[in-house]
């Protein structure tokens, strides 16, 4: 690999970091606007639902297209599309003609761009970064995401106090442009196609991706685990604004503290991973982190009404463990999955692990409105911890890095 890989990779990486800043500000503002405008758990659950549907439904298609098309061009088009959506919703806020359904459409469209952009970036990383640095780059990614997640909520809350919504969406538009500029000049390597792949139709390439995954028992087991966890945990985070307002009696600032504590934990966890790299067997790092993250989530649900400080500490623990869960597993796949299959593998994994989310979100709002929000945190955290402990005793999971010898290379 070229010795100048850092210049090329981090030029794109820096532009994407700016884009994430704008996206986080916009996401916080949109969710808070829905919270204040409706006060409904069902509305928040629906907003999260429409934001994940593109990834669930289009994942297998977008993955096959990422492996077939030019990944740099996909990222360019996706960033430009999201920028156009931000400009549209900013105009609606500026003219005071925005409605709840407009926000739904904007979230759906932004997620559509992400369904193509995210696998393109992940699959390109393994072609731009030497394998020995992938875990550290994954840790750096988690650290930056945590840093931005920590800073964005309080910054967004402050901006909301004196800036109109169209101004915040304008910031999102500007940062999207910053992300586009490096992509105009930096070349991203393209993988070689697998033998016979050029003769396959899009449907044939999708089926090849499915066969590749299902021939790997450990990966299938991890997908099943992820489906269970996503079902029980995602509604809890989707309903966080209502937990703040209804249970803790807080406002946007208190929500910002919770999200900033999560982000601080992610920064420090990402720093640890980027320095340490995790255990030699990466799956152990991920499973231990998952168990401890689950304990933190459960404590959030157990915190009393006067226990906002306890919840802030617990979400810090969960945030600290999150990079140790995601980073090593991401690096593991980037290392052992052949580059020409990575688009399909990443999107298929994302689609299947997210497939339970629409069902959980469909029932989360009404149930939370009936029996209370805290139940989602307690049950979700307990399931995370128990599945992590159980997975340590499943040979195909702990041997995931060793049991891919029969896969295409």
Q: What is the pLDDT of residue 288?
A: 94
Q: What is the pLDDT of residue 330?
A: 78
Q: Which two tokens stand for residue 213?
A: 């995954």
Q: What is the pLDDT of residue 1?
A: 53
Q: What is the pLDDT of residue 35?
A: 82
Q: Whose CA is closest to 119, among 51, 53, 69?
A: 69
* Residues written for the chain: 409
Q: What is the pLDDT of residue 310?
A: 95
Q: What is the pLDDT of residue 405?
A: 42
Using CA atoms, how far apart are residues 203 and 197, in angstroms rounded to an integer? 11
Using CA atoms, how far apart are residues 368 and 26, in angstroms rounded to an integer? 25
Using CA atoms, how far apart are residues 195 and 66, in angstroms rounded to an integer? 17
Q: Is the pTM of this model over 0.95?
A: no
Per residue of the chain (409 residues), give pLDDT as tens.
Answer: 566 777 778 888 888 888 888 888 888 888 888 888 887 777 887 887 787 777 777 766 777 777 777 888 888 888 899 899 999 999 999 988 888 889 999 988 888 888 887 778 877 887 787 777 777 777 777 777 767 766 777 788 888 888 888 898 999 999 989 889 888 888 887 776 554 445 556 677 777 777 887 888 888 888 888 888 888 887 777 788 888 888 898 887 888 788 888 878 888 888 888 788 778 888 899 999 999 999 999 999 999 998 999 999 999 999 999 888 888 887 787 777 777 777 777 777 777 777 777 777 777 777 777 777 788 888 889 989 999 999 999 998 888 877 554 444 4
Residue 115 CA from chain centroid, whole number: 11
- Structural domains of the chain ordered from first start: 5-186+201-398 (1.20.1250.20)
Q: What is the pLDDT of residue 313?
A: 95
Tell me which DSSP letter residue 194 carries: P
Q: What's the CA angle centered on 109, arms 56 and 42, to 5 degrees? A: 70
282-302 and 217-238 are packed helices; what angle lies between their axes, rounded to 10 degrees?
Answer: 20
In three-state secondary structure terms, 337 is coil
Q: Whose CA is closest to 345, among 190, 214, 231?
A: 214
Tell me which DSSP letter residue 280 carries: S
Q: What is the pLDDT of residue 403?
A: 56
């Amino acid at each position: 690999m070229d010795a100048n890989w850092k210049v090329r990779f981090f030029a794109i990486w820096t532009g994407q970091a700016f884009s994430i800043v704008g996206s986080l500000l916009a996401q916080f503002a949109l969710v808070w606007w829905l919270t204040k405008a409706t006060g409904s758990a069902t509305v928040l659950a629906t907003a999260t639902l429409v934001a994940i549907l593109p990834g669930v439904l289009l994942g297998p298609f977008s993955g096959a297209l990422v492996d077939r098309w030019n990944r740099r061009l996909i990222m360019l088009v996706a960033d430009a599309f999201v920028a156009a959506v931000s400009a549209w919703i900013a105009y609606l806020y500026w003219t005071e003609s925005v409605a709840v359904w407009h926000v739904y459409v904007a979230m759906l469209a932004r997620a559509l761009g992400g369904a193509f952009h995210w696998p393109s970036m992940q699959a390109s990383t393994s072609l731009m970064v030497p394998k020995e640095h992938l875990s550290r780059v994954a840790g750096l990614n988690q650290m930056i995401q945590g840093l931005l997640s920590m800073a964005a909520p309080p910054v967004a809350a402050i901006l909301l106090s004196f800036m109109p919504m169209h101004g915040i969406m304008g910031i999102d538009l500007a940062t999207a442009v910053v992300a586009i500029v490096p992509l105009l000049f930096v070349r991203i390597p393209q993988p070689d196609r697998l033998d016979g792949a050029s003769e396959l139709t899009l449907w044939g390439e999708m089926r090849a991706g499915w066969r590749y995954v299902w021939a790997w028992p450990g990966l299938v087991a991890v997908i099943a685990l992820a489906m269970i966890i996503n079902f029980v945990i995602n509604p809890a985070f989707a309903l966080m604004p209502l937990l703040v307002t209804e249970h803790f009696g807080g406002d946007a600032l208190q929500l910002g503290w919770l999200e900033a504590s999560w982000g601080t934990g992610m920064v420090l966890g990402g720093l640890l991973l980027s320095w340490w790299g995790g255990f030699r067997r990466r799956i152990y790092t991920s499973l231990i982190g998952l168990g401890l993250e689950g304990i933190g989530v459960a404590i959030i649900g157990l915190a009393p009404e006067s226990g906002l400080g306890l919840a802030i500490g617990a979400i810090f623990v969960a945030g600290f463990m999150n990079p140790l869960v995601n980073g090593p597993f991401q690096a593991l796949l980037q290392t052992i999955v052949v580059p020409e299959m990575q688009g399909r593998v990443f999107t298929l994994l994302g689609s299947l692990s997210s497939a339970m989310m629409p069902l959980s979100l469909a029932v989360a709002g009404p149930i939370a409105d009936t029996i209370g929000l805290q139940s989602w945190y307690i049950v979700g955290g307990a399931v995370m911890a128990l599945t992590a402990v159980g997975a340590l005793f499943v040979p195909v999971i702990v041997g995931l890095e060793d049991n891919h010898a029969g896969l295409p290379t």
